[in-house]
Homo-oligomer: A and B are copies of this chain.
Amino acid sequence: MSDELRRFKSEIFQALAHPTRIAIVETLRDGELSAGQVIEKLGLEQANASQHLATLRARQVVVNRKVGNQVFYSIRDPALIKVLDILRRYFYSQLSSTVSMLEEASQTAPSKTGHTRR
């Protein structure tokens, strides 16, 4: 496989490699929002949000549309939502494995009630 493709993929991953940017993408999951709405929903600093949005734009993860005074953002390709969904399931399988590992390790065995966060 081409190195070009790998570089491209790594840029997508990098675009999503920050909790704030994941939060933004998930906030946009159900439709477009203005920058201000994103800021309000997530409680971000204006400048910070704008920078993260710029990163997402640069990697073409989101597209934007100007309406008067405001800029509305939306996810460019629903494939990315699918990726996030897969990772949500992945997270839970990871989590339960981690829990079993911890249980094994601490042989006092709190038996089975998973979901103790780390």
Q: Is the CB of B88 within 8 A of A79?
A: no
Number of interface residues of A (CB under 8 A): 40
Q: Check: A10 CB closer than 8 A to any chain B CB.
A: yes
The CA-CA distance from A14 to B88 in the complex, in Å, is: 16
Q: Does A82 contact B (CB under 8 A)?
A: yes
Known: A79-B86, A91-B9, A94-B77. A17 touches B17 (CB 8 A): yes
**Residues of B with C-beta under 8 A to A86:** 79, 82-83, 86
Chain B residues with Cβ under 8 A from A60's Cβ?
Answer: 94, 98
Known: A79-B89, A90-B79, A117-B4. A84 touches B9 (CB 8 A): yes
Give the residues from 66 to 94 in chain A that come closer than 8 angstroms, CB to CB, to chain B. 66, 77, 79-80, 82-84, 86-91, 93-94
